[in-house]
Chain A
Amino acid sequence: MKYILMMNTMKTGQGVPDWPRKDLQAHIAFMMDFAKDLRESGELVSAEGLAFPDQARLVRAGKDGSPITDGVFPEGKEFLAGYWIVNVETPERAYAIAARASAAPGPGGAPLNMPIEVRPVMSAPPPEML
């Protein structure tokens, strides 16, 4: 069963974290360890980090189908910072992985306890009913 773990933690107007270098390095090292463990457990399907919200554009089709882009978002709107897709045996395992990501270290090395949204990825059709 595949699950997506979404880190909806970026906000408009938020810049690069201004943490001390040591704390930033600890955070990055944690994330790299986390990804490595998921690869080694044979559970990682894919993972991506996304660019900051100032790179985001909202696109709608105009009357002739051409793109109309809008980049002005309300202050404080939450954005997806990145995601992992994992293939695990149980939902509990997906929650445990999400909890580990949530506790990534922040300033001063204290856990951030970020909210991680966990949702099943739609899969192939189930066996038909006999």
Chain B
Amino acid sequence: MTPPPGHFAAEHLLRELAPQVLGALIRRYREFAAAEDAAQEALIAAATQWPREGVPDNPRAWLMQVASRRMVDYVRREAARRKRETVAAMQMDALAPPADAGMGTEEDDTLTLLFMCCHPALTPSSAIALTLRAVGGLTTAEIASAFLVPEATMAQRISRAKQTIKTSGVLFSFPADRERADRLRAVLHVLYLIFNEGYTSSAGPDLLRLELSGEAIRLTRALHALLPDDAEVAGLLALMLLTDARRSARTGPDGELISLTQQDRTRWDRTEIAEGTALLTAALAKGSVGAYQLQAAIAAVHDEAECAEDTDWPQILALYELLKRMSDNPMVMLNHAIAAAMVDGPAKGLELLAALDADKRLAGHHRLDAVRAHLLEMAGDPQAAIRHYRIAARKTTNLPERNYLTAQAARLSDGS
């Protein structure tokens, strides 16, 4: 079933307005959890009414009015429960103009909300769920289906995340200068995780599943619009676009994984590659190079090559050398070993892998075996390669990856 075009327009508008309405409610009522529920109810009301009755002239005011009514109901209930003050007094209080009325803009609210939802006090999965709901304007049901968990489970996760925010005393305010860089890093990490979740779970068409990577791109794009001078925000957006560009080529008709070297590059999205490359070029010119920009640069080098053989591996190796100095991530070390093998031969790559055997974080990780198998194959040792492809296949917890690794082993043993 294809919804009418108006459906998408209304949905897009709602997602834009969601964090603005929520931000304004929190500023006025200072109750994050209740404001979040009220905003969600207003969004659901709009999602059912607008496609039927048309979008109101001032959609933001409409949402604010519906959500404020819910907030007043909440304040009434709270008042009755607490029996501390009279109902009338609480209502008066709630309806009085806020002390800081007029301060701050809608854009600031969206940014402050992002900082709040990605607060380091939350676990990554809680921060992801809260960000998608409070900033992304998605319903709990949509988020639950995206993560393949029951709606009740996701509702609990969101409500506990809100409780954590409440008990840890996180304020709805812009982080102070000294902690802003750290907090922004946490925001970028959450957006990166949302993108990865969506990018990696796109096996087979499932119309009910939300496009998480598209949502991550949308949120990062909004963040980039708010902080246009931040090179790492631009770098992350570029990385997402340059990676997403390969989406339709990276799986076959049955959802099987296709390695970068085997992908049909005519299916890569040139528009996304052009946008990502332009963003990256502008970001790198600012001179404060970070890990997201470097990863985007590596993705761009791959995307530039017309065929796998044209890949500029020396440049990729140089970028991984820089990235290694910046981050202590064992996955970066693994990819560095692959790049080194492509430039200096498989023996060099295998030598680097041997050094990684001692890294506790990689001990027993299937990726180490998978890369070793690949390099052994390059080195002309198919029997050892088969053995390591099979070890990796036994260890992975990803079905398509297990199929891919088993198929690699089968290909080599059929050929020998």
| B131 on interface, CB distance cutoff 8 Å | no
Contacting residues, chain A, for B260 (C-beta < 8 A): 128-129
Give the shortest distance, in Å, between B269 (CB) and chain A (any CB): 15
Contact status A42-B199, CB under 8 Å: no
A125 & B149 in contact (Cβ 8 Å cutoff): no
- The total number of A-B Cβ pairs within 8 Å is 79
Cβ of B400 and Cβ of A125 under 8 Å apart?
yes
Binds A, one of B25-33, B179-187, B295-303, B347-355: B295-303
Residues of B within 8 A of A46 (CB): 150
B6-14, B111-119, B151-159, B217-225 - the one binding chain A: B151-159
Which chain A residue has the least Cβ–Cβ distance from B339?
Answer: A130
B124 part of interface (Cβ distance < 8 Å):
yes
Contacts of B302 in A (CB 8 A): 130
Stretch at the interface among A18-26, A54-62, A94-102, A116-124: A116-124
B322-336 CB mask vs A (1 if < 8 Å, else 0) is 000000000000110
- Which chain B residues lie closer than 8 Å to A64 at the CB level? none
Residues A127 and B124 in contact, CB atoms below 8 Å apart: no
Distance from A76 Cβ to chain B, minimum over Cβ atoms (Å): 30
Residue in B153, B257, B298 whose beta carbon sits within 8 Å of that of A42 in the complex: B153
Judging by beta carbons under 8 Å apart, are B400 and A42 in contact? no
Report B120-138 CB contacts with A as 1/0, cut-off 8 Å.
0001110000000000000
Residue of A nearest to B198 (CB): A124
Is the CB–CB distance between A127 and B200 below 8 Å?
Answer: yes
A69 to chain B, nearest CB (A): 30
Is B362's CB within 8 Å of the partner chain A?
A: no
A41 within 8 A of B: yes
Chain A nearest CB from B389 CB (Å) reads 14
Distance to closest chain A CB from B99 (angstroms): 35
Which of chain B's residues have a CB closer than 8 A to the CB of A40?
Answer: 156, 160
CA gap between A87 and B259 in the complex, in Å: 29
Given A89-B123, A89-B124, A130-B302, A122 contacting B399 (CB threshold 8 A): yes
With known contacts A42-B156, A125-B200, A130–B298 Cβ distance under 8 A: yes
Most A C-beta atoms less than 10 A away, residue of B153, B251, B402 = B153
Bound-state CA distance A39–B152 (Å) is 8
* A86 shortest CB reach to chain B, Å: 9
CB-nearest residue of chain A relative to B400?
Answer: A125
Nearest chain B residue, comparing its CB with the CB of A119: B397
Contact B153 A122 (CB under 8 A): no
| Chain B stretch 346-370: residues in CB contact (< 8 A) with chain A | 367
B250 interfacial contact with A, CB 8 Å: yes
Query: Does chain B have a CB within 8 A of A126?
Result: yes
- Our pick among A1, A42, A122, A124 for the contact of B201 (Cβ within 8 Å) is A124
Residue of B nearest to A120 (CB): B397
Tally of B interface residues using CB under 8 Å: 44
Interface residue tally for chain A (C-beta within 8 Å): 22
Determine if B203 is an interface residue (Cβ-Cβ < 8 Å).
yes
A123 to B148, CA, bound (A): 10
Q: Are A44 and B153 in contact (CB under 8 A)?
A: yes
Central interface residue in A45, A120, A128, A130, by most chain B CB within 10 Å:
A130
| Cα separation A128 to B203 with both chains bound (whole Å) | 13
CA of A34 to CA of B242, assembled, Å? 45
**Chain B residues with CB below 8 A from A120, complex form:** 397
**B156 and A87: CB pair below 8 A?**
no
Closest chain A CB from B360 CB (angstroms): 15
Let me know if B375 is at the binding interface, CB within 8 A. no
CB neighbours of A39 from chain B (8 A): 152-153, 156
Determine the distance from Cα of A87 to Cα of B160 in the docked complex, in whole angstroms: 15
Task: From A44, A45, A124, name the one whose CB has the most chain B CB atoms within 10 angstroms.
Answer: A124
Tell me if B406 counts as interface (CB < 8 A to partner A): no
Residues from chain A with a CB closer than 8 A to the CB of B155 are 42
In angstroms, how far is the closest chain A Cβ from the Cβ of B380?
21
Which of A39, A44, A128 has the most chain B CB within a 10 Å cutoff? A128
Residues of A within 8 A of B203 (CB): 124-125
The reply to whether A128 and B257 form a contact with Cβ atoms under 8 Å apart is yes
Instruction: Check if B401 is an interface residue, CB within 8 A of chain A.
Output: yes
Q: From known contacts A41-B160, A42-B160, A45-B153, infer whether A125 and B401 are also in contact, taking CB-CB under 8 Å.
A: yes
Determine if B338 is an interface residue (Cβ-Cβ < 8 Å). yes
B105 within 8 A of A: no
Q: Which residues of A contact B371 (CB under 8 A)?
A: 129
Q: Please name the residue on chain A nearest to B374 by beta carbon.
A: A129
B397 touches A122 (CB 8 A): yes
Say whether B398 contacts A123, CB under 8 Å. yes
Nearest first, the 3 closest Cβ-Cβ pairs linking A and B are: A42-B157, A124-B201, A42-B156
Task: List residues of chain B with CB under 8 Å of any chain A CB.
Answer: 123-125, 147-150, 152-160, 196, 199-203, 246, 250-251, 257, 259-260, 295, 298-299, 302, 334-335, 338, 367, 371, 396-402
5 pairs, A vs B, C-beta closer than 8 Å? A122-B399, A125-B251, A127-B199, A129-B334, A130-B295
